[in-house]
Amino acid sequence: MISQLAIVLFDGFAFGMLLFVLSVGLSVTLGLMNFINLAHGAFGMLGGYVAVTAMRGLGWPFLAALPAAFLAAAGISVLLERTLFRRLYKSGELNQVLFTIGVVFVAAALATYAFGTVQQVIQLPAWLRGSVEVAGLRLGTYRIFIIAVALAITGLLVFGLERTRLGARIRAAVDNQRVAQGLGLDVEKIFAVTFALGSGLAGLGGALAIEIVGLDPSFGFHYLVYVLIVVSVGGLGSVAGSFFGAALLGICDVAGKYFVPEIGSFLIYLLLVAILFVRPLGLFGKR
């Protein structure tokens, strides 16, 4: 029983770290820009299809396809942000929601046209397949890799936001955009960089997710729900909040489906309601 519990906790934490990579960008951009970007899941789907194309069409290795997914999602997001999304910054929330969910529908249609509706698969390198034994437990190698990537991203984001000049500018823009502009900061450029980083991380998460949850044109819709729950539970603009919220959600989701499969899929919504009832701003939210 103890070994089963440990495996469930490990698998849940690995799933949570995958959700963290997918969602942390949306948390930061929402906290900075106050822009409701429901197209975030579409950037994750884009990253997944870029990885599939790079590996199966171009013969790239897996470790080369991951940065390609990040860069492709970041580049497309900057293009959309500069040409379309920026026009909605002053609009109401309803306009932002309707427009960005429309982008998801367009992205799903394009993915269906280009790749069909079948699940996409990739071939992982040999060193990421199988499992390793740790303290008598068989742990999936690829899940260990996802946890390592998520921890590395967490460290880089915390260092970047707290210890670098760009991070100081982002925090200044978050605290008060008008004062930041008055001090000479190019807030629009900061918006573009932050948006690209968040969408690029979503693309990276989409590429990492293929082996765990699969990839099809509905990816942008299905995992948008998980991403929004992570952001709500963790709190806007908080890397730590996204990390702990994603870990909690992943463990709750996997444990619920394993121990109480009859209601397992519903437990994450109960968790969301319970946390927001006690902390309406999320675990680490400030506004």
Alpha carbon 258 to its chain's center: 24
pLDDT single digits (tens) 182-218: 878 887 788 888 889 999 999 999 999 999 988 999 9
Whether residue 265 contacts residue 255, with contact meaning beta carbons closer than 8 Å, is answered with no
What pLDDT, on a 0 to 100 scale, did the predictor assign at position 171? Answer: 74
* Boundaries of every domain in the chain: 2-278
CA distances to 98, 174, 281 from 37, rounded to whole Å, are: 10, 17, 18
Average of per-residue pLDDT across 147-176: 84
Average of per-residue pLDDT across 24-30: 83
DSSP string, 53-110: IIIIIS---HHHHHHHHHHHHHHHHHHHHHHTGGGGTTS-HHHHHHHHHHHHHHHHHH
What pLDDT, on a 0 to 100 scale, did the predictor assign at position 287? Answer: 61
- Kindly state the tokens that stand for 186: 């190019």
Global pTM reads 0.91
Calculate the average pLDDT of the chain. 88
What pLDDT, on a 0 to 100 scale, did the predictor assign at position 110? Answer: 95
Look at residue 52 and tell me whether its pLDDT is greater than 90: yes
Q: pLDDT: is 76 or 168 the higher one?
A: 76
CA 249 – CA 202 distance, rounded (Å): 18
CA 173 – CA 110 distance, rounded (Å): 35
CA 54 – CA 60 distance, rounded (Å): 5
Alpha carbon 121 to its chain's center: 20
What pLDDT, on a 0 to 100 scale, did the predictor assign at position 147? Answer: 95
What pLDDT, on a 0 to 100 scale, did the predictor assign at position 207? Answer: 95
Average of per-residue pLDDT across 139-149: 93
